Structure 1
Amino acid sequence: MTTSTDVFTLTAAFHEAFGTVPDGVWQAPGRVNLIGEHTDYNEGFVLPFAIDKTAKVAVRVRDDSTVRLLSTFGGHGLVEASLDGLEPGSGEGWSRYPLGVAWALKERGVSVPGFELLLDSDVPLGAGLSSSHAIECAVITALNELTGANLPAEELVLATQRAENIFVGAPTGIMDQSASLRGAKGQAVFLDCRDQHVELVPFDAEASGLVLLVIDTKVSHSHADGGYASRRASCELGAQVLGVTALRDVGVEDLEAASGLLDEVTMRRVRHVVTENDRVLQTVELLGAQGPASIGPLLDASHASMRDDFEISCPELDLAVDTARANGAIGARMTGGGFGGSAIALTPVGEEHKVRDAVVRSFAEAGYTAPDIFTVTPAEGAFRLA
């Protein structure tokens, strides 16, 4: 895992790379989704939070349409592009994210100048913690200020979604960027993906004697691949057959009738989304009434649904979840889009080392790559650092 660079070091590195000082430094966090997986693009409910791992960008506006991009990551050289005629699919690797944001802002009528940008990030790549959206949200926060566009958070969310869906080609919803842009310290973001209504829900695990462990399985995933797209297509088919705008409009009480209308695979996909929406609502209610120690069974049920009905887990994620539970976690689930990435385990303080050691040992015995295991806490959303 990389270590985040401080502002002074990043500014100095920018000067060395571009021969001048940046106009500012902005940061945006990755996110953990506490519960509510694949419900966002079904106009449902999600409960993510911004985490204390961030992408930072030092940015300087140019007086032409040239974009020059560089990262602190090893093996990535300078990327140059022109904003004139920028088309979806342009760029490679991480450069697609700032280019996509610039393209999406221009599409919205914002006059985006050329710019120089140096990126640093300690959000683990491919871990399901939304490293790509952290980059996009840092960049869009910077460009929103530097251009004087001053778009509200809701517009920035939609612009980054447009960048992901059209420019990058990943059919994601609005959860990740909503958490990164609208998160707050000590709070989870209860988001209604139909109208972007947000309520901040206190999630202070430590005050309840708990820690939230992230278990990065090191199985990399990509939202731009076929697995994610096929799940979304199944959800859209289910909504069409059931005659609703989105699966958000189907209740748990409707599932029995739906089973007579849908093929077996589509029915399982629909059942996951409908029951997951219900689990999000239950989690929000329990957090308000009883606190984090009460939500373990809902995390467990969410993982079972993703494993069996949505079929987006993998052997490494299942092993991480099962081992964490067997060694003291009160609830655990995979988090993120699936097909790899990370699991989370809500664990009593003092038991985290037991869980960590057991998971590392179980991965070694199975012949899997050693996982990265660390704690996260709810953090502030995107803002200007300097």
Structure 2
Amino acid sequence: MIQKTKEQFVELFGKEPLIVVSPGRINLIGEHTDYNDGFVLPAAIDKKIVYAIALNGTNQCNAFAEFNQEKASFSLDAVVPTPGWINYLMGVVATLQQRGYSVAGFDCVVAGDIPVGAGLSSSAAVEGGLVAALDKLFGYGLSRMEMALIGQQAEHTFPGVMCGIMDQFANLHGKKDQVIRLDCRSLDYEYFPFAFPGYKVVLCNSMVHHSLASSEYNVRRQQCESGVKAIQRLHPEVKSLRDASKSMLEEVKEELPAKVYDRCLYVIDEISRVQTATGLLQQGKLNEFGKLMYETHEGLSKLYEVSCPELDFLVSLASEREEVAGARVMGGGFGGCTINLVEADKVEDYTSFIRSRYQERYKKDPEIYVTTIENGVTVL
């Protein structure tokens, strides 16, 4: 893919490009906790976006997207939100400009094999890859954390998705065979080895396309914030659901809409689960870790209501199989993938089983990806 992207760039623009590889991400546990100041446990994976990019000496940015064979351009004099994939590139450029960084015209080809809408954070990979490329081309000297924050701001202001920091952070800070426990409040982080050679991370795509820009994602965030406001009237020290306990939530249950209560209960439980989960990884207790994944799915489905019948069915199939340590919906929800921890020598049997049963129920073939944990954004 890297070679093809480079060749495509040379054919279109007639010069040698800089190459940047920007991975997708998985999150083992800790879903919808990042914008609640909680903890997450992500890792970068081998699905990726590839940029071929070079300066062009003009005030124009020209991009070619390999996935739909579409060209798009914009002027650096007027970088404003625009429908379509180019919006993500424009968001990065506008954020850099707003922060006082000079950006000159560039040409790029964007390719990749991260399935869009599968919950693997293709948008963060597009953002992280571009900010790293521009940092290299213009010598900004940005830290990886600064790059992640630029990507997050770009997503907030251009696509309008009020995402937490996890996706951009994992994209830029990933390490091979390591997961990262990130404190989304302090941005402190710690690496934990994912040292289970007898297991593979298997992603099962429901083929239900989701968009984090859908109104439901931002609604969940608003519901959590309204729960915090209610708790603050009795406990002013509570700044977010990270600070709240179940007993605090119970004190205000009667004044909360039932759905707001459910959202807050899920988040409080999930923040606690991530803390427990890292201890289990350190002790090599993958089956106990997997039970927490099933608990997370139950909460995401029943309390947070970001699952769908197809995802629930995939997780129920996983729970029938002894070779699966744990499974759950992954990402923002409303479609996309389940993440499954599967015994390595049973992966083929498991994927055949999933395909057969899913086709039988929904008349469509789920895409299945066996992934490895890899490094974050790499400038070649």
Task: Answer whether TM exceeds 0.5 for this pair.
Answer: yes
Q: Distance in 2 between matches of 1:158 and 1:325?
A: 37
The total of aligned residue pairs comes to 374
Pairing 1:194-213 to 2, within 5 Å after superposition: 194-206=185-197, 209-213=198-202
The answer to whether the Cα contact below 8 Å between 1:64 and 1:113 also exists between their aligned partners in 2 is yes
Q: 1:77 is matched with which residue?
A: 70
- 1:253 Cα deviation after fit: 4.5
Is 2:61 the counterpart of 1:67? yes
Give matches, 1:108-257, under 5 Å. 108-206=99-197, 209-243=198-232, 244-257=238-251
Q: Which residue of 83, 86, 95 maps to 1:95?
A: 86
Distance 1:336 1:205 in 2: 23
List per-residue Cα deviations over 1:5-33 (Å, max 9, x = no partner): 12x332221010112221x1001100011
Q: Does 1:342 align with 2:337?
A: yes
1:16 aligns to what? 11
Q: 1:94 to 1:345 in 2, by over 3 A?
A: same
Matches within 5 A, 1:3-42: 5-6=1-2, 8-22=3-17, 24-42=18-36
Contact 2:306 2:333 in 1 (8 A): yes
- Aligned Cα root-mean-square deviation (Å): 1.3
Residue 319 of structure 2 corresponds to 325
Q: Structure 1 residue 86: deviation in Å?
A: 1.0
> Residue 364 of structure 1 is aligned with which of 359, 370, 373?
359
Identity of aligned residues (%): 37
**Other structure's SS at 1:331 match:** strand
Preserved CA contact (<8 Å) 2:230 2:252? no
Point out the more displaced range, 30-39 or 352-361.
352-361
Residues 69, 223 of structure 1: alpha-carbon distance in 2 compared, 3 angstrom cutoff: same
2-structure distance, mates of 1:334, 1:205: 21
Which one-letter code corresponds to 2:155 in the other structure?
E
- TM-score for both structures, normalised by structure 1: 0.94
Amino acid at match of 2:19: V
CA distance in 1, matches of 2:246, 2:24: 31
In 2, distance between residues paired with 1:291 and 1:57?
Answer: 39
Distance 2:363 2:220 in 1: 27
Aligned-partner residue type, residue 173 of structure 1: G
- Structure 2 Cα separation of the partners of residues 82 and 125 of structure 1: 26
Which residue number in structure 1 is paired with residue 235 of structure 2?
none
CA contact (8 A) 2:64 2:72 kept: yes
Query: What is the deviation of 1:349?
Result: 2.3
2:37 is matched with 43
Q: Cα deviations across residues 154-174 of structure 1 (Å, max 9, x unaligned)? A: 111111111000111111111
Separation in structure 2 between the aligned mates of residue 168 and residue 156 of structure 1, nearest angstrom: 18
Deviation at 1:205, TM superposition (A): 2.8
How far did residue 295 of structure 1 move?
0.5
Distance 1:368 1:132 in 2: 29
Superposed displacement of residue 275, structure 1: 0.4
Instruction: Judge conservation of contact 1:319–1:362 (CA < 8 Å) in 2.
Output: no
User: Are positions 1:271 and 2:265 aligned together?
Assistant: yes
Q: Aligned partners of 2:355 and 2:245: how far apart in 1?
A: 40
How many Å separate the matches in 1 of 2:363 and 2:229?
Answer: 41
Q: State whether residues 27 and 138 of structure 1, in contact with CA within 8 Å, keep that contact through their aligned partners in structure 2.
A: yes
From 291, 304, 311, give the equivalent of 2:305.
Answer: 311
> Using the alignment, how far apart are the partners of 2:117 and 2:272 within structure 1?
28
Secondary structure at the aligned position of 1:55 is classed as strand
Q: Distance in 2 between matches of 1:346 and 1:307?
A: 19
Question: 1:290 deviation in Å?
Answer: 2.6
**Distance change in 2, residues 1:356/1:269 (3 Å):** same
Contact kept? 2:286, 2:325, Cα under 8 Å = no
Question: Could you tell me whether the CA contact under 8 Å between 1:287 and 1:294 is conserved in 2?
Answer: no
The question of whether the paired residues in 1 share the 8 Å contact of 2:287 and 2:326 is answered with no
Identify the range of structure 1 (345-354 vs 180-189) with the bigger mean alpha-carbon deviation.
345-354
- Residue identity opposite 2:213 in structure 1: A
For residues 301-360 of structure 1, what are the alpha-carbon distances to aligned partners after superposition, in whole Å with 9 as ceiling and x for unaligned? 000000000000001101111101212312110000000000011112222223212211
TM-fit CA distance, 1:258? 4.0
Structure 2: stretches of 5+ with no match in the other structure = 233-237
State the alpha-carbon separation in 1 of the partners of residues 257 and 4 from structure 2. 56
CA distance in 1, matches of 2:249, 2:220: 18
> Structure 1: 5+ residue runs without aligned partners?
none
The alpha-carbon deviation at position 226 of structure 1 amounts to 1.0
Moved more, 64-73 or 253-262: 253-262
Is contact 2:20–2:379 with CA below 8 Å preserved after alignment?
Answer: yes
Superposed displacement of residue 262, structure 1? 2.1
Deviations 1:194-213 (A, max 9, x none): 1211111111332xx21111
TM-score, reference length from structure 2 = 0.95
How far residue 111 of structure 1 moved from its aligned partner, in angstroms, is: 0.4
2:325 & 2:65 partners in 1: Cα distance? 39
Residue 373 of structure 2 aligns with which residue? 378
Deviation of 1:291 after TM superposition, in Å, equals: 4.3
CA displacement, residues 127-167 of structure 1 (integer Å, 9 cap, x when unaligned): 00001111111111101111111111111111111100011
The one-letter code sitting in structure 2 at the alignment partner of 1:41 is Y
Conserved? CA contact 1:28–1:55, under 8 Å: yes
Q: Which residue of 1 aligns with 2:96?
A: 105
- Alpha-carbon separation, structure 1, partners of 2:123 and 2:33: 19
